[in-house]
């Protein structure tokens, strides 16, 4: 059973917002990763991995949607293009307690006959508007859209401006802009996150053209200096790979971006806080195949930048030690760091 800790005075004073967020990332931002991130930053908005409507309409809803109370604020990202199925998915998301439903219009998957999702939807703004309308009619939580600035060889800013304008007609006012094109044929998803050039100016222009909308930027952002610069122009910054590989960079976020005067946890305190969580998860889901490594794999980057980070990662990747299932391995790994430092 999850115990809900009442918010401290510092926390309670903070207005929840998407000023900073961790991107939806398949296979990475699962519920264990999100709990870990939450121990580093209380306020950074978190996103699930993409869940397709097919998985919710035909699959195991609980497996896809269960999450831990302490993850709030947390958004469910849906992938799909059938308005009725997306409405069903959104309704389920709201019922399970998510704070936002986000539609994936940024993933560079090729269009398939049925079940199209991702960036190919940018070619069909009216369909996206219909999807958004169906979801907004179904739920009272925010419905947001994450998208690219173009697809394939579209270079003109007008394309993304018209996309946002059309989707906004369905009532969506929050747009998360991964500021590069998606190339639908010929590039792998990984290459699609690296090769098409970043054009932050397009996101800035969207904010100028739609000043009342919440425009959040994403793509290649790594440092607080970069975040600060983007926040001069935009409402929020979403971090993907950097937040995953160097999660402790988020330790200052509560103070710096949310005005929380509380003291952030140290790395060791974060590790210690994860131990009872891991123990409880293994007790509950161990028989279903959950392993210590299923949770600790997300934590390998917490020492990034410190001398001895490698020794920490090595200890936490030792298959014999992991097989014991003892979560105190986290502290053993941290102690190695001190010894080698
Ligand atoms: C492993 C991985 C999985 C991803 N899965 C998703 C996803 O499920 N939905 C989505 O909208 N974007 C997904 N993305 C893209 C990220 O959300 C983000 O837009 C992209 O990584 C650019 O941000 P970054 O440069 O800060 O990493 C994924 C990225 C990575 C690295």
Read off the tokens for 335. 């102690």
For residue 4, tell me if it sits in a domain: no
pLDDT in tens, 41-98: 999 999 999 999 999 999 999 999 999 999 999 999 999 999 999 999 999 999 999 9
Residue 9 predicted with pLDDT over 70: no
Asked whether residue 99 is assigned to any structural domain, the reply reads yes
107 is catalytic: yes
325 occurs within a structural domain:
yes
Residue of the CA atom closest to atom 7 of ligand 1 = 25
24, 30, 199, 226, best to mutate for ligand 1 pocket (most atoms within 8 Å of CB): 24
- Minimum mean pLDDT among 8-12, 65-69, 185-189, 254-258: which range? 8-12
Q: For residues 116 and 147, which has the higher predicted lDDT (pLDDT)?
A: 147
114: pLDDT strictly greater than 60: no
> Do 26 and 95 belong together in one domain?
yes
Question: Which domain range does residue 69 map to?
Answer: 14-258
User: Can you tell me which atom of ligand 1 is nearest the CA of 49?
Assistant: 8
C-alpha–C-alpha distance, residues 234 and 219, integer Å: 14
Dist CA 204 CA 233 (whole Å): 6
Identify the band that residue 1 occupies on the pLDDT scale cut at 50, 70 and 90: very low
| Coil, helix or strand at residue 238 | strand
Q: Are residues 42 and 61 part of one domain?
A: yes
Pocket probe for ligand 1: among 47, 240, 297, the residue whose CB has the most ligand atoms within 8 Å is: 240
Q: Please check the confidence at residue 333 and state whether its pLDDT lies above 60.
A: yes
Residue 175 host element (H or E)? strand 174-178
218-246 confidence digits (pLDDT tens): 999 999 999 999 999 999 999 999 999 99
Task: Say yes or no: 82 and 208 in one domain.
Answer: yes
Q: What is the mean pLDDT of the chain?
A: 94
Percent of residues in the chain assigned helix, strand, coil, to nearest 5: 50, 15, 35
In this structure, the answer to whether residues 209 and 133 fall within a common structural domain is: yes
Residues in contact with ligand 1 (CB, 6 Å cut-off): 23-28, 49-50, 77, 104, 106-107, 146, 178, 193, 218-221, 239-242
Are 113 and 137 members of one domain? yes
**Which ligand 1 atom is at minimum distance from the Cα of 239?**
26
Catalytic residue among 107, 120, 131, 172: 107
Looking up residue 224, the CATH number of its domain turns out to be 3.20.20.70
Q: Of 231, 258, 285, which residue sits at a domain end?
A: 258
Percentage of the residues of the chain whose pLDDT score is greater than 90: 90
């Amino acid at each position: 059973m999850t115990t809900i800790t009442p918010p401290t005075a510092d926390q309670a004073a903070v207005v929840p917002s998407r000023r900073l967020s961790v991107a939806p990332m398949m296979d990475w931002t699962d519920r264990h990763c999100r709990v870990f991130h939450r121990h580093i930053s209380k306020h950074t908005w978190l996103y699930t991995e993409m869940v397709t409507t097919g998985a919710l309409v035909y699959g195991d809803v609980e497996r896809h949607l269960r999450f831990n109370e302490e993850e709030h604020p947390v958004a469910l990202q849906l992938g799909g293009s059938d308005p009725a199925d997306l409405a069903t998915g959104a309704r389920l998301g709201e019922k399970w307690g998510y704070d936002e439903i986000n539609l994936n219009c940024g993933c560079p998957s090729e269009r398939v006959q049925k079940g199209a999702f991702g960036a190919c939807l940018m070619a069909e703004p009216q369909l996206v508007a219909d999807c958004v309308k169906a979801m907004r009619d179904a739920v009272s939580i925010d419905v947001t859209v994450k998208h690219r600035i173009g697809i394939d060889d579209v270079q003109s800013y007008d394309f993304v401006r018209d996309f946002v304008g059309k989707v906004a007609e369905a009532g969506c006012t929050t747009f998360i802009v991964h500021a590069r094109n998606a190339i639908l044929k010929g590039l792998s998803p990984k290459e699609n996150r690296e090769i098409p050039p970043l054009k932050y100016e397009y996101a800035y222009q969207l904010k100028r053209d739609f000043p009342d909308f919440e425009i959040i930027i994403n793509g290649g952002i790594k440092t607080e200096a970069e975040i600060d610069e983007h926040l001069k122009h935009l409402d929020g910054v979403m971090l993907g790979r950097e937040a995953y590989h160097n999660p402790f960079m988020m330790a200052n976020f509560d103070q710096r971006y949310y005005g929380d005067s509380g003291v952030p946890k140290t790395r060791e305190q974060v590790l210690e806080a994860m131990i009872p969580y891991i123990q409880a998860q293994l007790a509950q889901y161990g028989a279903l195949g959950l392993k210590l490594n299923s949770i600790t794999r997300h934590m390998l980057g917490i020492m990034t930048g410190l001398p001895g980070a490698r020794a920490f990662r090595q200890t936490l990747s030792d298959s014999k030690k992991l097989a014991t299932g003892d979560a105190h391995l986290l502290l053993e790994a941290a102690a190695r760091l001190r010894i080698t430092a």
